[in-house]
Amino acid sequence: MQNAPVKRAFKYRFCPTDAQAAELSRTFGCVRKVYNLALAARTEAWTRRERVSYNQTSAMLTAWKKTEQFAYLNDVSSVPLQQALRHLQVAFTNFFGKRARHPRFKSRKRSRKSAEYTASAFRFRDGRLTLAKMAEPLDIVWSRALPVGASPSTVTVSQDAAGRWFVSLLCQDPSLGPLPATSAAVGIDVGLDHLVVLSTGEKIANPRHERLDRARLARAQRQLARKARGKGANRAKARRKVARIHARIADRRRDHLHKLTTRLVRENQTIVVEDLIVRNMVKNRKLAGAISDAAWRAFRNMLEYKATWYGREVIAIDRWFPSSKLCSACGSLQGAMPLHVRTWTCQCGTTHDRDVNAAKNILAVGLTASVCGAGVRPQRSTPGGQSAMKQKPPRREP
């Protein structure tokens, strides 16, 4: 039985004409306005202990368009406005399901500029994409080919803070499917000196993308700080310069993580990682910048969805498991081990590299948990020879 094709988004840059840029900017503004109006209406209703559904907000949108105050909503395609209401409905569903915070109002300066078009609001023929309310197709830079015979079901147009325009096409990709099974498994220990250390002993350096451009970024930020606040062209130009440097850093980081995670998923059937809570770790003011630059959470997210694509397995073990202090050879548990200790010798005579030893232990506990059930850990003992895990007394024979 073949698996159903996976939906995958293909993102490209494009260069809009002046008319297209003006139309998309109006659409972004209307999407933001409708979202905020609907959010305000639902929040006000909630104070009266009433719930407002998507259908009710859709009826509100129809009424808003008939008023003189919001008549400009008729100038753009109605599909992105309806999609904004659907996104708000999903946000409230996640909020009531305790999976997310309460939805927040969109800001003209800080929120992402985007608009989503469904199949009724665009035409895609012979590799040419034309959106509703536009006479000409978008000038897309096709950096990679779409799957053969693919037809987009949804198109999302966006503009980032650096002024770059992107279009994302959601298509079914029949080329994605389980890879040939393999017996290879790997444990991964993430860090700052090395981005990841594998249980095989391989160490992958941390590129520190932010550090490479730190001087340029600081200089651009100083120039921005000198510009008077307001709507001046010089301040906008300085702001875009800062945004371009940030975009350059983010693009290189994302590219490196994609190449690394794709390689790990293709080479290994089982991948074991630690279940780190990065949002708590970045509260350390001394390490917050370095941890954010390493992007551990993005690394794990990529591993997980690519493993789903290719029929692999990602196992996350308990973050409190003492992987660095546990001897992978004899299982004895060491005492306190400060971060500056990078190598240590166990009582059994084995000398360990701290990170490689941790990766080996992560792999061992992950494979044990996958076979025996979640939460199971390998037996380990203290330097005195006693078990570090609580053991039951021997059963007496009658």
Tell which phi-psi region holds residue 98, choosing left (phi > 0), alpha (psi between -120 and 50) or beta.
left
User: Per residue, what are the HEC states of 128-185?
Assistant: EEEECCCCCCCCEECCCCCCCCCCCCEEEEEECCCCCEEEEEEEEECCCCCCCCCCCE
DSSP state of 207: -
The SS3 of residue 91 is helix
Task: Please report, as a single letter, which amino acid is at residue 151.
Answer: S
Beta strand 185-190 with 165-173 is unpaired
Q: How many CB atoms lie within 10 A of CB 59?
A: 11
**Which residue numbers are catalytic?**
189, 274, 355
Tell which residue, 241, 213, 246, has the closest CA to residue 226: 241
Instruction: Compute the distance between CA of residue 369 and CA of residue 272 in angstroms, rounded to an integer.
Output: 10
Say if CB 117 and CB 78 are below 8 A apart. no
Q: What would the two tokens of residue 221 be?
A: 């930020």
Q: What would the two tokens of residue 52 be?
A: 């407002």
Say if CB 36 and CB 106 are below 8 A apart. yes
Say if CB 369 and CB 317 are below 8 A apart. yes
Task: Please report, as a single letter, which amino acid is at residue 101.
Answer: R
CB neighbour class for 126 (10 Å; exposed up to 12, middle 13-18, buried from 19): exposed
Q: What would the two tokens of residue 48 be?
A: 């009266």
